[in-house]
Homo-oligomer: A and B are copies of this chain.
Amino acid sequence: MKTEVKTILEKVSSGELSVDEALTKLKSEPYKDLGFAKVDLHRETVQGYPEVIYGAGKTAGQMRSIVSEMLKSGCERILITRLDGEQCEILKQSFELDYCPLSRTAVIGSKPEPDGIGKIVVATGGTSDIPVAEEAAVTAEVFGNEVTRLYDVGVSGLHRLLSHKEEIMNASVIVAVAGMEGALASVIGGLADCPVIAVPTSVGYGASFGGLSALLSMLNSCAGGVSVVNIDNGFGAGYLAGMINHMEAKK
């Protein structure tokens, strides 16, 4: 959307657009209003850039309308997150999609060739953090990144983590996914010299308080280069990791 406002102003200046047309354009352009949702359609961006639908709290019917609208506008690749198996079954009747029940993500269209600066490492503290990690990994892949998965490398068995020191030190960006005490982010942050995106998970019991313990632990990390996203927000971490991993392409 960057240059759109300027373009519209120039068209007004040159007489291509009247003031009222300009106002109308500013209001109606960048999305399709479906009543229950306003669907952003990045028509002018590079072809192949994926659109994303957050599935939670939307009916299968609502999602079908949104997907249809996106495909109609020329979108070639769609990522749906937080998609129940049940909703998925209904969508499958209308669209061809690649569903991962572990991460509850679905992809319409194929994943692109990786074209980032380097590799993104996605690491988890335990086995039960894997669903959130997979959401991050799939998201990163859909946005054109190569992903290395290091699962079950929690800090209480440091040798398991240290045996992957090389992957960690060669990563472009690291997504550290952990519940319980969330110490993984700090330890990885101390070993790596790249940005570390910490994802607390709601995995745990007792005083983990639904991910609060891991969240606080990660926010208080003393290691440089660590930042945090919301509890269980694998998508946000994967998306940001991909954005950072494409920094050099920007200018």
Contacts and interface: CB of A to CB of B under 8 A. Distances in A.
A194 B250 contact: yes
B221 A181 contact: yes
Contacts of A230: 205-208, 219-221
A31 interface: yes
Contacts of A147: none
A158 interface: yes
A163 to B, nearest CB: 4
A72 B243 CA distance: 40
A47 interface: no
Complex copy number for this chain: 8
A224 B240 contact: yes
A227 B197 contact: yes
A228 B225 contact: no
Interface in A1-57: 1-2, 5-6, 9-10, 12-13, 15, 18-19, 22-23, 26-31, 35-38, 40, 52, 56-57
A217 B219 contact: no
Contact of A216 (B19, B23, B205, B216): B216
Interface in A214-250: 214-233, 236-237, 239-240, 243-245, 247-248, 250
A38 B223 contact: no
Contacts of A12: 9, 12-13, 19
Interface in A146-161: 151-160
